[in-house]
Amino acid sequence: MAQILEERGEGLLTIVFRVDSIAGVLEMAERNGMQVAADLDLGDSIPGYKAYRQVSLATDRFPAKASFTFAEYDEA
């Protein structure tokens, strides 16, 4: 985080949205030429969740340079 704060200063870094379908997010990103910066599938490894997956889209497509992260999960 220190490097990000040094380069960009303080401010909004990411916004997280809960979605029903990560597959839908990936399809939208591909249609719009957006790069997936991270795709993290933790399955059932987080206590309290039956499934957890999140995808972050690259920040260079957004004017605020904040990333957008989408999470699909099922609570236990």
Residue 17 domain-assigned (yes or no):
yes
- Centroid of chain to Cα 25: 10
CATH number at residue 53: 3.10.180.10
Question: Which helix (H) or strand (E) covers residue 20, if one does?
Answer: none
Higher-pLDDT residue of 5 and 39 is 39
Residue 54 domain-assigned (yes or no):
yes
- Residue numbers of the domain that contains 53: 13-75
Q: Is the pLDDT of residue 45 over 90?
A: yes
Amino acid present at 62: F
Residue 29 domain-assigned (yes or no):
yes
Higher-pLDDT residue of 60 and 36 is 36
What pLDDT does residue 73 have? 93
What pLDDT does residue 24 have? 95
Residue 8 domain-assigned (yes or no):
no
Rounded mean pLDDT, 1-15: 78
pLDDT band at 53 (very low <50, low <70, confident <90, very high): very high
Distance CA 30, CA 65 (A): 19
For residues 60, 17, 26, 10, the Cα torsion angle rounded to the nearest 10 degrees is 20
Q: How many domains does the chain have?
A: 1
Q: Where do we find the tokens 């340079």?
A: 65
